[in-house]
Structure 1
Amino acid sequence: MALIQWEEKYSVNVIELDKEHKRLLEMLNELHSAMKLGKSRELVEKLVNEAVDYCDKHLDHEEDLMKRCNYSGLSEHLKQHEIFRQKVTGFKLSLKKNNYTLSVGLISFFKDWFINHICTEDKKYSTNINNCKYS
């Protein structure tokens, strides 16, 4: 069973960003499943690295759209993304140092971030980006 199932309440109503959010959710569920099934440390580390790398690309994309659309909440949103990046970088470094148990904390952090950040902060840019001709 998946840790989190996609629900419409997670939609930010920006098709390309919803697609990326869905992929992030899939990656989180893959990581959770691997840990729950006791998969190898190498696989868990690989999944963590892939999820962190994908998150970074996603955040860059989201930030670029907000900049191009002159989103008024950009400054605060960037601060939140920076806090997220610092936190996951710390998890990634700790995992490299063989602190396997931190992966559980990472899953919890990702889950909370996914639900809370997307459902509150990301939804704030929805109208702005959809009304913007950014392409």
Structure 2
Amino acid sequence: MAFFVWSDDLATGDARIDNDHQQLVQLVNDLYDAMKGGKGNDVLKKTLDELIRYTASHFRREESLMAQITYADTAVHKAEHERLVKEVLDLQKRFESGSATLSITVFNFLSDWLRKHIKECDVKLGLALKQRGRAA
């Protein structure tokens, strides 16, 4: 059973952003399933690699959309992206150094990201895109 189920309260109103976020939901659920089966650390490298790929393409897409509409909260939103990228890179370094309980840390990080960043930052961006007729 999935830990996170995609729901309307995670939707930003922009299909491009929401499709990216659904990939993050899948990463959380894959890691959760592996942890339940006692194999969290076995899938952690794949999860971190995918998360690094995800952040690069997703944040680039969001920041391009912000630029297109001259989004008022661009600086704050980009700073949040930078913080999240730094955290992911730190998690990857910790994994490479052999941290034993890292799968729980990554799982908590991803869960927190879903709850906070998407609902607090990305929903506002989706609304701004919609108000300016730029939502997909």
- TM-score, length basis structure 1: 0.90
Q: 1:6 to 1:133 in 2, by over 3 A?
A: closer
> Aligned AA for 1:117?
H
Partner of 1:52: 52
Amino acid at match of 2:117: H
AA in 2 matched with 1:108:
N
Q: Tell me the residue number matched to 1:6.
A: 6
Structure 2 CA distance, aligned partners of 1:25 and 1:43?
15
- The 3 A distance-change label for structure 1 pair 68 and 105 is same
After TM superposition, give the deviation of residue 104 of structure 1 in Å. Answer: 0.8
Q: CA deviation at 1:42?
A: 4.3
Pairwise CA RMSD of aligned residues?
1.9
Runs of 4+ deviating beyond 4 Å: 132-135
Q: Which residue of 1 aligns with 2:16?
A: 16
Across the two proteins, how many residue pairs are aligned to each other?
A: 135
Kept after mapping to 1: 8 A contact 2:69/2:129: yes
Identity of aligned residues (%): 27
- Cα distance, 1:35 vs structure 2: 2.1
After superposition, residues 20-99 of structure 1 pair within 5 angstroms as 20-39=20-39, 41-99=41-99
Q: Provide structure 1 residue ranges, at least 5 long, that are not aligned to the other structure.
A: none
Residue pair 1:35, 1:44 contacting (<8 A) in 2 also: no
Contact 1:69 1:134 in 2 (8 A): no
Q: What is the aligned partner in structure 1 of residue 104 from structure 2?
A: 104
Consecutive unaligned residues in structure 2, runs of 5 or more? none
Distance 1:49 1:125 in 2: 26
Q: Distance in 2 between matches of 1:67 and 1:50?
A: 26
Correspondence for 2:114: 114
Distance 2:106 2:44 in 1: 11
Q: C-alpha separation between the residues in 2 aligned to 1:19 and 1:101?
A: 30
Amino acid in the other structure paired with 1:121: C
The structure-2 alpha-carbon separation of the partners of 1:91 and 1:66, relative to structure 1 and needing over 3 Å to count, comes to same
Separation in 2, partners of 1:43, 1:102? 11
Q: Return 34-43 or 8-17, whichever deviates more.
A: 34-43
How far does residue 114 in structure 1 lie from its aligned partner after superposition?
A: 1.0
